[in-house]
Amino acid sequence: MSQILIVEDEAVIRQALRRLLERNQYQVSEAESVDQALSEHDLNAFSLIITDLRLPGRLGTELIELAAPTPVLVMTSYASLRSAVDAMKQGAVDYIAKPFNHEEMLRTIAEVLARKASPADAEQEEPPGRDPEREPKAGAPASCASLGKMTGCSEPMQQLFSRIQKVARTDATVLIQGESGTGKELAARSIHELSLRHEATMISVNCAAIPDTLIESELFGHEKGAFTGAVSTHSGLIEAANGGTLFLDEIGELPLDAQARLLRVLQEGEIRRVGSVTPMQVDIRLIAATHRDLKALTRSGQFREDLFYRLYIMEIRMPPLRERGADIIELAKQFLSDSCRRLGVEPAHFSDATCAAMQRYRWPGNVRELENAIERAVILSEGKTITPDLLGLDLEPHGLADLEAGLARQPAHPASPSASPALSLEDYFQRFVLENQDRMTETELAKRLGISRKTLWERRQRLGIPRKARD
């Protein structure tokens, strides 16, 4: 049976990890610090040491040298993953992010022990099995986490952080998709900072902000005299990103000619400046982002299909703010504190009605809209309480959220026999859809009801309300 030492100062994490490992037939010992591990244990008696990066007194990475040749697996928060990469350069066998996924932790441990074991040992000792019934479901959030400037407690954000962590370890091209304001550039920055290219440059380019006539010159550079106004040789942004990461935001706006040249960069690893016949080798990692449906653009001929599949090696989807639940309020509090400090006003707080309004609102502009709304509210506020009207939100009336709140406040029976009974939520939904589907699209219906198009479709199916055929 493999013996593992856990060095972690947070008792909750240490005990949870111990229970997980013991359920999977590992023999486990504990320590709260590097000094305790040295004084109470023979480090070379263990098959593996799992240590937190930051511990009281001494860094966990000091165990790499002190315990050699015993392998050391480093745990770290998402905000410190860059330090974890440095730990691997010091000799750590691997690193894993907190809050860790149970399956990923067990898989990593099994791989480390398999590499450590001799061929003879490997034949005698199989990696310990897992008990799926006793483990939490994969993807279940353990706690709040942060990644660079992104924070989130919701399950979509936990999944996003896990995906970014895995993608960052590779050098693959990444396509980030999501609505405007969801933080696509922050995700790209996190991928770069967690990658092996983090010491090199990351060049960010907004393809929608550069005129079509200049985009090729800006990206690929040009030679002197290549066109009117080219009075000197100019290095392009791709060349400037050589050895690092190139982030192309709004890549769906890239002209077709520039798409063809970009495809060659991905296929051959070379560029040619405008007006030059000599190719130049470049080594870049490409991260692209868009809020548009690139697949639909390929069908309409606005985006090259071969480039789309070159970009679609690894995909990351940014969750819209409306799907992040309690994250809305946590982000709002963070933005409120930042705005008060930046504007030099006394700390303020949200009223209960304001919190309810922020939860009901659909946030089409996502995190960017939330931040701007709160800064506006702080500027307009004359007191310490932020009220709903200060946010300037265009709340849709008669949404399902409003109706549910109204139904909860209604008495169980009509006030008098002559009074008509209140509509149930499903009665209201059915009546609203039937009365308005002739003049509204599915998107408009969903928006007025305060639900997603997917939810609208599911409720149609459940209640047997067919979509009206359009001429």
Q: Which of 369, 374, 364, 316 is nearest to 342 (CA)?
A: 374
Query: What band does 88 get if pLDDT is binned at 50, 70 and 90?
Result: low
Tell whether the model's pLDDT for residue 133 goes beyond 80.
no
Q: Which two tokens stand for residue 103?
A: 């399956």
Which of the four pLDDT bands, split at 50, 70 and 90, describes residue 417? very low
* Predicted local confidence at residue 429, as pLDDT: 74
pLDDT value at residue 384: 87
Pairing of strands 270-271, 280-281: antiparallel
Query: What is the helix (H) or strand (E) element at residue 3, kind and residue range?
Result: strand 3-7
CA–CA distance, 441 with 445 (Å, rounded to integer): 6
Cis peptide before 127 (omega within 30 of 0): no
DSSP letters spanning 214-250: HHHHHHH-B-TTSSTT--S-B--HHHHTTTSEEEEET
Query: If you average pLDDT over residues 252-264, what whole number do you get?
Result: 92
- Read off the pLDDT of each residue in 124-131 and give the average, rounded to a whole number: 41
* 51 in Cβ contact with 27 (< 8 Å): no
pLDDT number for residue 29:
94
- Look up tokens 């907190």; give the residue: 98
Furthest CA-CA distance within the chain: 89
Query: How far is it, in rounded angstroms, from Cα 215 to Cα 197?
Result: 25
The predicted pLDDT at position 97 comes to 72
List Cα–Cα distances, 282 to 3, 111, 196, 259, in angstroms. Answer: 47, 34, 17, 17
Q: Work out the average pLDDT over 134-152.
A: 57
The span from the CA of 332 to the CA of 210, in Å, is 33
**Are 271 and 279 contacting, i.e. CB atoms less than 8 angstroms apart?**
yes
Beta strands 202-206; 245-249: pairing state: parallel
State the average pLDDT for the chain. Answer: 81
